[in-house]
Amino acid sequence: MADRTSSSITIKAAKADVMAVIADLEAYPDWASGIREFTVQETGPDGRALRGRLTFDGGPFSDTVGLAYTWDGDDRVSWELVEKGAVVTGLHGTYALAEAGGATEVTYELAVDVRVPMIGMVKRKGEKRIIDSALKGLKRRAER
């Protein structure tokens, strides 16, 4: 899973407020298109998810996968696939947050592997669509 796709957006909200939206995984279906359900299975001492189960409906593919999360305060969160789905066989994602003159710069990086053979360019285009949609939803949610 060497190839990753990334994109960034500036959100007019404090870094802690943006990370609070990101950390509320069970609310993703309310603002992240394609996410049907998220169930937190285990939390850490800070109350943030360590493991969860994600069900998504991503156009031609729908699946349920298990994810493990690693949090670095309000600066970064990353997740890895720990339970493969029927379609998704590999997944790594990261949100990295940085102060940006009274706002927050959010960079989302994603790499997904699927059972179906896919040309790299098509795969990256799909990842880019997921990232851009998630960043726009995050921005709307955090700025309200």
When pLDDT is averaged across residues 3-26 and rounded to a whole number, the result is: 94
CA 78 – CA 68 distance, rounded (Å): 8
Q: Can you give the pTM of this predicted structure?
A: 0.90
| pLDDT, tens digit, 9 for 90 and up, residues 114-144 | 887 766 666 677 777 788 888 999 999 999 8
Note the CATH architecture for domain 5-143: 2-Layer Sandwich (3.30)
Distance of CA 103 to the CA centre of its chain: 20
When pLDDT is averaged across residues 19-26 and rounded to a whole number, the result is: 97
Domain boundaries, the chain: 5-143
Residue 1 — pLDDT band, cuts 50, 70, 90? Answer: very low
Helices (H) and strands (E) in the chain, counts: 3, 7
